[in-house]
Structure 1
Amino acid sequence: MKKEYSLWALFLTFLKIGALTFGGGYAMMPVMRKEVVEKKQWVDDEDILKILVISESTPGVFAVNSATFIGYKIAGFKGSVLATLGVIIPSFIIISLISLFLVQFKQLNLVAYAFYGIQAGVAVLIFRAALKLSQKIHFNIFAVIILISSLLIAMFTEISVIYVLIGAALLGILYGIMTNLKEAKNDA
């Protein structure tokens, strides 16, 4: 599926993503997906799903991790650097400007109301992206049990989501080993 790209187009795409997305990495993912999967066709949904898992389970800011991994997938090291720079430059500029006028900015009711609206919109974007990406998950009874268990643990306990992810990964590895052993035993 990988279409032709130019490093300049890669940088500008991630600059646009960084400039037009509010709400953090999860809100950025639907926009990234639309740009790099649907519009540019540089990667496919399967790649995005893998990159989401890697980005979520590695240290660092989710949006930056995602941009870095997507950039690397598209154009190697140069692509990772340009995608990362593209996605962080708008935030850096905006935060720098806001910090100059922070006290006055915080006191504007219009700004507070705008952020309430943005928060609601971001929740919808995240939900929509989760629905689209969930279509790529290979569901079986094991995956459903892990999904429901992880959701319940995250919602009703104080256990860090990091530990939930690590536990789910370890259970997935164990499940894979057991499945391979079972298949090998049946083939023998």
Structure 2
Amino acid sequence: MINDTLHIGDIVVGAKQPFSTENRQSYLILNFAEHTETGDALIVYQEVYTGKIRCGLLETFMAKTELLLANNFCFSQACITLGEKHKFYPGDIVRHFKRETINEQELSSGKYLYEILYYAEYLEEDVVVYRALDALAEEPFKMWVRPVKMFESEVDHEKYPSIEQQYRFELAVRRTNNSTIMMNR
């Protein structure tokens, strides 16, 4: 997703309320994504004061904020997850269950492999922000946002009886400090 006004690393603040300078929050722009179910253009941002990561509609976010510092990369873009309540970590590579159905060429392109980038909140729901690793896709490395409940759900084996994978997404690679853990399949 290309945005001509906001860029990754920009710092924005909440637009001034009439007669008030209180409660103006600063936000660090982390990335842009598309909601998997609605197709909405979303922005992934971090509240500078609390460190909380959120998603919001790009159009609404732009209407309610104003640019403070353009392309300011001095802030850490470290991900603060929503506790340890999720089965994946930022940086994990996961495979979608449909990876079982593709040919060797598609396997080598990274089709149905995704990198977990952040956990965030969107409309008071936990969501996962992730990007495709398919180098041959129409939009390679596209960013997506999906509700965590759906992301971590089991495969519908009635709809997909030949799929062996138990969950919609399963761990393929986890990097820890100086090592990499590769999962089978």
**What's the TM-score, normalizing by structure 2?**
0.22
TM-score computed with the length of structure 1 as normaliser: 0.22
Instruction: Identify which of structures 1 and 2 has the higher relative contact order when contacts are C-alpha pairs closer than 8 Å and 6+ apart.
Output: 1
Bigger strand share: 2
Which structure shows the bigger proportion of residues in helix conformation?
A: 1
State which structure, 1 or 2, has the greater radius of gyration over its C-alpha atoms.
1
